Structure 1
């Protein structure tokens, strides 16, 4: 049961959606028909260039899982089994929520329920990409022209989740570019807020085996950002000379946001997304040997939400991070065939 953390990957991020059909429509203007396929359940993310690569139906438990990723010839993991990828988005629909007028997803950015922040995609031409989203009728939390930071935007999906838009090409070289190619986009990272950066960095590096690839300190605004990934590349810790985020062309990164002083407040706590009100569910790592990885985690004294031996599903486990966020652990089926997902 040998396991090597260098072979792990940040496979997916799970978000609950109220209604997969509503999540497939923009309001008030529908996206142009040529951009959409009626066969895919979540057309908003298809507009962002993603494709459905798997669907797992669980009628007995009354929920369905939709897995979306970038899957063109220009994508980083085109054609791979969904467990062998980075940059996968899992959307969970619990039957009946679409009929409940009082049900509302917690997007993680307001109380109650503050914790998870956003997912992020990187694009070729950010002005053209944002214009394409706006032309399709979707709203923004922050447009490129809002505030001082003119190199990032935050679009809103139909459930109110924030989707950060960043560029992997120099922004000033694409200002006059009118076309954008969603086939080149990447699911760059997912952001969660952490109470104590030292505890969280130690957990994700020592226990989960990730490497810190970039740090962004914002002392004037009282927060720092830490980007971790599998496998680590310490050369990416420095800012790019051309002004582009040096990790923007990657997938499968985790961003930890630490607001100064939260670690000193004994009563301070972030919401894990799984208590009420619900929204974000978990991040997921795919490992080379599921039994070996779980044995390694057990030896390091992790807190478990679910061990492999718990419940009926013996092919997944859930570890709790220092803030109580859930981390699903699954087998990379390309490395070792264990499940008929």
Structure 2
């Protein structure tokens, strides 16, 4: 029994939501499609899985476990009727840790205008600040959705149309305390490739983009992220010096205040992958053998973020999801 990390996929990122009608509507407006829904009425929650699935999408028509760049929305029954219920978006203390999800688009000015015309709010518009090639929209729960461009912004300034079928769910950003430890974990244990590093020495932070699949191109047009057309990447943000503070800790999203839940990796052979993780001496949140659900496991990364591990059902059937 063996496992091949080159066949792993960064399948989804889980966000807790207040109102599924509003949240599903927002992500569908961004061009996503609901590719699966799992209902757990006995436990009083539902899971909605949204992904890009147009004929131009990377994983068009694939089983949901055989994709990258899915957003899983978790709805606990009744929150939509509670006026005091609020999600932690991960960007302010005491809940700081997760940062955002990001989509890449064909024509960024037109994409942002379309969102604005629909009445959606922004954390940062294209015209705000010095960086004119990225924007941050806000979803109904206040999660930040970064919008990046697949083409140089000067090429799309006068383009009025945008095709959501070309969009990608590009990455999920988490803040990390110790870049070296986190890089070693995601590369050596999870089998990811380091695809891009963006050093911001003047501002005291670095960004690291990791994922599976193809290597990043050697160059790209000015202002364009070289991995903008990829899906299912992990962006790690490291602020210089946090690794030297023994008391410093990021919030994992699963203790109060709750928001982001986990990222999920689908693997070629779930039993073999978990055996390999055991050999790597990972810290477990849930082994396969724990609890009633024998088809999911959860590993903890160096910051305590949860990583769900599931079977890629295209490669080996295990669960009737």
User: With structure 2 as the length reference, what TM-score do the two structures score?
Assistant: 0.98
Matched, 1:281 2:256: no
CA contact (8 A) 1:239 1:245 kept: no
1:196 maps to which of 174, 178, 181? 178
Matched, 1:55 2:37: yes
C-alpha deviation, 1:99, in angstroms: 2.1
Query: Could you list the runs of 4 or more consecutive aligned residues of structure 1 that deviate by over 4 angstroms after TM superposition?
Result: none
Alignment coverage as a number of residue pairs = 321
C-alpha deviation, 1:21, in angstroms: 2.3
Q: Which runs of 5+ in 1 are unaligned?
A: 24-41
Matched, 1:270 2:250: yes
1:133 maps to which of 115, 119, 137? 115
Aligned to 1:17: 17
C-alpha deviation, 1:240, in angstroms: 1.6
Aligned to 1:326: 306
CA contact (8 A) 2:171 2:232 kept: yes
C-alpha deviation, 1:103, in angstroms: 1.5
In 2, Cα distance between the equivalents of 1:297 and 1:247?
28
User: With structure 1 as the length reference, what TM-score do the two structures score?
Assistant: 0.93
In 2, Cα distance between the equivalents of 1:324 and 1:96?
28
Summarize the Cα distance change of 1:265–1:239 in structure 2 as closer, same or farther, 3 Å threshold. Answer: farther
CA contact (8 A) 2:152 2:221 kept: no
In 1, Cα distance between the equivalents of 2:51 and 2:193?
23
Once structures 1 and 2 are overlaid, which stretch shifts more, 211-220 or 240-249?
A: 240-249
Aligned to 1:290: 270
CA contact (8 A) 2:133 2:223 kept: no
Aligned to 1:98: 80
Deviations 1:46-80 (A, max 9, x none): 11000001000000111000000000100000000
CA contact (8 A) 2:151 2:221 kept: no
C-alpha deviation, 1:100, in angstroms: 2.0
Once structures 1 and 2 are overlaid, which stretch shifts more, 62-71 or 240-249?
A: 240-249
2:231 maps to which of 240, 251, 257? 251
C-alpha deviation, 1:324, in angstroms: 0.4
Q: Which runs of 5+ in 2 are unaligned?
A: none
- Spell out the pairing of 1:135-284 with structure 2 (5 A cutoff): 135-231=117-213, 233=215, 235-236=216-217, 238-284=218-264
C-alpha deviation, 1:210, in angstroms: 0.3
